[in-house]
Amino acid sequence: MQDFKSFSEKLKEFVPKDFESLALEIFKFQAIQNPIYNKYLNALGVIPSDINKVENIPFLPIRFFKDHPVVSSDLDNFEAFFSSSGTTGMITSKHYYWSEKWYLDHSLRLFEREYGSIEDFHVLALLPAYLERKGSSLVAMADHFIKKSQSVHSGFYLYNQEDLMQKLQVLRSDKRKVLLLGVTFALLDLADSGRDFEEMENLIVMETGGMKGRRKEMIREEVHDRLKQFFRLDAIHSEYGMTELMSQAYSKGEGKYNMPATMRVMIRDINDPFAWSGRSQGGINIIDLANFHSCAFIETQDLGRIGKDGMLEVLGRIDNSEIRGCNLLVQ
């Protein structure tokens, strides 16, 4: 637990130039203290003391979160876990956390570094399905944002579209900005409801992914075009996060994500998970330093591309991979 507190304090004062040294420090710690990661490294024949570059760190396949407690301490030192959504019969991921308060404070710091103070917003969270189950990290984050906004207008919405539309009408000319944070299928349901929506200059619509088998698969451009048309906006914002990560990345349009200081994306060859791609496109490996309590080096099943501007585009899922419940949107 002392190591967790030490890492958490370092991340509060974290600056990007420290990324590699802190990543290597966390790797050395987890290679010993995380039983699952330790066994994985042993199976690969990796000697942790030989690793002196971030590029040489092995990434743990995300599937391990479905089958094992991925923790870097005794399980008794963890408060609880977040669980992923999933269709009936699907094995869901569990991400144990040592401090929910730290996760919530960290998530708010990342948001405010991109968008400014949460108190400048009314937060309307349209998260059906996620609200109907326990253990969602997205719901926990949204609830924290709602409370920290200190707005009587902030709140959750399930399937009550009429109430949401009335609230947006009330806030149309408010001096605060309005953040409509919504799961993708629910935003599309609203857009296809046949209602009219007047232009609203203080509105930001942010989709979080999540089709959950509710609608036919659509590419990101189709989804964003439909939402831009309905809400009369020039851009749709997006949040990229998952149960297995403590950090989130944000896009302010065109599906291009600006990675926070605590995260780094590395693109791997989809045919060889232990080789880096020679192109800008491939499988997404993520280092999330905020995962110091679990595993900070995650091999996801997402496809991505790094642009010349250094921003990440998420292109979809790797063929034959299990669909992740919290992001069934095919990019």
Find the range with the poorest average confidence among 63-72, 86-95, 202-211. Answer: 86-95
Residue 280 pLDDT: 84
Computed from CA positions of residues 314, 243, 91, 326, in that sequence, does the dihedral angle turn out positive or negative? negative
If you average pLDDT over residues 253-279, what whole number do you get? 92
pLDDT tens figures, 78-123 = 999 999 876 545 788 999 999 999 999 999 999 999 999 999 999 9
The CA distances from residue 38 to 54, 58, 216, 295, in Å, are: 17, 11, 41, 11
Residues 6+ apart with CB under 8 A from 52: 24
Q: Residue 175: which pLDDT band, with cuts at 50, 70 and 90?
A: very high
Q: How far is CA 284 from the centre of its chain?
A: 13
The three-class DSSP label of residue 89 is coil
DSSP H or E run through 205: strand 203-207
pLDDT at residue 321 above 60? no
Residue 324 pLDDT: 42
Residue 214 pLDDT: 57
pLDDT at residue 319 above 90? no
Residues 6+ apart with CB under 8 A from 140: 82, 100, 103, 104
One-character DSSP codes across 96-135? EES-HHHHHHHHHHHHHHHH--GGGEEEEEE-TTTTTSS-
Residue 98 pLDDT: 96
Of 43, 96, 102, 33, which Cα lies nearest the Cα of 70?
96
Residue 131 pLDDT: 81
Residue 211 pLDDT: 63
pLDDT tens figures, 44-56 = 999 999 999 999 9
What gap in Å lies between CA 25 and CA 103, rounded to an integer? 20
The structure's pTM equals 0.92
pLDDT at residue 307 above 50? yes
